[in-house]
Amino acid sequence: MPPAIPSVSVFRDRNFVLFLIGQMISTQGLWIQKIAMAWLAWTLTGSAFWTGFIAALNFAPAVLLGPVFGVMADRVDLRRMAMILNAAMAAIAVALMAMSWAGYINLFWMVVFSAANGIVASAMTPVRLALVPIIVRREHMSRAVTYAAMNFNISRLVGPAIGSLVIASAGVGAAFLINALSYLPFVFILGLLHIHVEHAPDAKSRRVLAALVDGASYAVNHPMIRSVLGLSCFVALVGTGMVELLPVFSDAVYERGVTGLGILSSAAGIGAVASTLMMSQLPSEPYHFKRIAIIGAFLAGCGLIGLGFAPWFELAVVLVVLSGFGLTAVGVGSQTALQLAVDNTLRGRVMSFWSATSFGGIALGGTLLGAISEFAGVQITARGSGILIVLAAIFAGWRLCQNFATPDGQTPHALPGKSPDAPPES
């Protein structure tokens, strides 16, 4: 037997560390802008529906365009495309800043810029998800994905707190300026990365429609990928959309204003960071991440049910931490399970289906839940969302036990890098 090769930390990888630093800077700005858009929508309209709708426009384009951009991600120079898309998002932030400072920002322009940002983001997601596996080694992939997600969620913790202070002291225009500047270091860092060309996908020999059909057929016929996509889509639809209504909880329910919104958003970030820290310790096997996604769904449902009854702001903060923990476990757990299970030549397309179902669920869910909250109240809506997610988690857990249980009632271990419920090899 050959001697075991000692494990090397992913943080010894220069490529990954540079990528993480660039992402850390840009995602801080992203969350600062996100809270600015949410607060601006609420203050302009006083409507839960419009607050949810503006948030939804940042995700809705992923439903229709995400799979097409996924084909693109399997065919283009990923680094160059990432640089172009980051520059485009910076330009949108500059336009928002200029309109805000000029006093011309209104609901119409918010719809326009939110939709534009959503289109660019729907192109960026499969590119970003396909980029990570070609800058790190295979054995580091699950760690790289979870640490990148942890970095995103740390920004989710810090960004809203900074954003609320910036908005209160300098206005939303300053928040948009900070976001625009945050993309510039990432564009520079992307130019420094070494891309492992041998790991990069190449689907240029296939027509776009044929390549799209190939990816869809693969996803539908792969049990692990099909079930993970279904769970993440449902939780995004009835659960994550509630997070987009935190401005309504902060101002209409607890009367805490933009400061309360920053606290609630940071509370969700605390839960998210704790969730990704836990997942960073899991073995690099799809089964473990699928299981944690189901547990996360159950916890998120319980948190939302509690939030629907919470009479005090302090209790709401604790419940938002729990909800953020669970929702992140679903999002990051499902994403990592897919990254580990998918064939490399189909990675961009399959991950675009994940972004389409997840972000599409957030877009539709945010709009529907906002509309329901207009009539039933946001707390009653949270209770209903939580109950549906708990039921979905129980069903998914039952299906997991049915699929993995052996005749003697034991659950087999997955092979490294392969899902135990993946289609059998011929």
Q: DSSP states of 142-153 as a string?
A: HHHHHHHHHHHH
The pLDDT of residue 85 is above 70 = yes
Cα–Cα dist 422/9, whole Å: 28
Q: Which of 265-269, 290-294, 314-318, 394-398 has the lowest mean pLDDT?
A: 265-269
Query: Would you list the DSSP string of 36-62?
Result: HHHHHHHHHH--HHHHHHHHHHTTTHH
Digit-coded pLDDT (tens) for 63-77? 777 677 777 766 777
The pLDDT of residue 48 is above 70 = yes
Across the chain, mean pLDDT equals 79
Cα–Cα dist 104/102, whole Å: 6
**Is residue 416 very low, low, confident or very high in pLDDT (cuts 50, 70, 90)?**
very low
User: Residue 411 has what pLDDT?
Assistant: 39
Cα–Cα dist 377/307, whole Å: 13
Phi, psi at 267, each rounded to 5°: -60, -45
The pLDDT of residue 17 is above 90 = no
Instruction: Provide the token pair at 249.
Output: 């909880």
Percent of the chain clearing pLDDT 70 (strictly above): 83
- CB-CB contact of 11 with 17 (8 Å): yes
The pLDDT of residue 50 is above 80 = yes
The pLDDT of residue 420 is above 50 = no
User: Residue 299 has what pLDDT?
Assistant: 95
Q: Which residue has the higher pLDDT, 128 or 146?
A: 128
Instruction: Provide the token pair at 2.
Output: 């050959």
Cα–Cα dist 381/91, whole Å: 36
User: Residue 97 has what pLDDT?
Assistant: 93
**Mean pLDDT highest for which of 182-191, 237-246, 273-282?**
182-191
Which residue, chain included where needed, has tokens 């289906």? 353
62 contact partners, CB below 8 Å, separation of at least 6: 118, 121, 122, 125, 355, 356, 359, 360, 363
Instruction: Provide the token pair at 384.
Output: 């209903």
User: Residue 61 has what pLDDT?
Assistant: 75
User: Residue 408 has what pLDDT?
Assistant: 39
195 contact partners, CB below 8 Å, separation of at least 6: 78, 79, 134, 135
User: Residue 89 has what pLDDT?
Assistant: 92
Residues in the chain, overall count? 426
Cα–Cα dist 118/243, whole Å: 17
Q: Which residue has the higher pLDDT, 408 or 11?
A: 11
User: Residue 259 has what pLDDT?
Assistant: 82
User: Residue 138 has what pLDDT?
Assistant: 66
Q: Is 108 exposed, middle or buried (0-12, 13-18, 19+ CB in 10 A)?
A: exposed
Cα–Cα dist 282/173, whole Å: 41
214 contact partners, CB below 8 Å, separation of at least 6: 206, 346, 349
Cα–Cα dist 353/125, whole Å: 10
Q: Which residue has the higher pLDDT, 204 or 162?
A: 162
**Is residue 51 very low, low, confident or very high in pLDDT (cuts 50, 70, 90)?**
confident
**Span 315-336, mean pLDDT?**
89
**Is residue 142 very low, low, confident or very high in pLDDT (cuts 50, 70, 90)?**
low
HSE (CB half, 13 Å, CA atoms) of 303?
A: 26
Measuring CA to CA, which residue among 280, 256, 222 is closest to residue 419? 222
Cα–Cα dist 28/154, whole Å: 9
Dihedral-angle region of residue 342 (phi above 0 means left; psi in -120 to 50 means alpha; beta otherwise): beta
The pLDDT of residue 370 is above 50 = yes
Cα–Cα dist 74/190, whole Å: 18
Q: Where are the domains of the chain?
A: 11-404
**Is residue 153 very low, low, confident or very high in pLDDT (cuts 50, 70, 90)?**
low
User: Residue 139 has what pLDDT?
Assistant: 67
Number of DSSP helices (H) and strands (E) in the chain, helices first: 16, 0
The pLDDT of residue 304 is above 90 = yes
**Span 388-402, mean pLDDT?**
88
Tell me the CATH number for domain 11-404: 1.20.1250.20
Torsion on CA atoms 116, 118, 119, 124, rounded to nearest 10:
130
User: Residue 57 has what pLDDT?
Assistant: 81
User: Residue 157 has what pLDDT?
Assistant: 64
Query: Would you list the DSSP string of 351-411?
Result: HHHHHHHHHHHHHHHHHHHHHHHHHH-HHHHHHHHHHHHHHHHHHHHHHHHHHH--TTS--
**Is residue 240 very low, low, confident or very high in pLDDT (cuts 50, 70, 90)?**
confident
List the Cα angle 89/202/214 in 5-degree steps: 95
The pLDDT of residue 283 is above 80 = no
The pLDDT of residue 350 is above 90 = no
Which residue, chain included where needed, has tokens 């800043």? 97
The pLDDT of residue 406 is above 70 = no
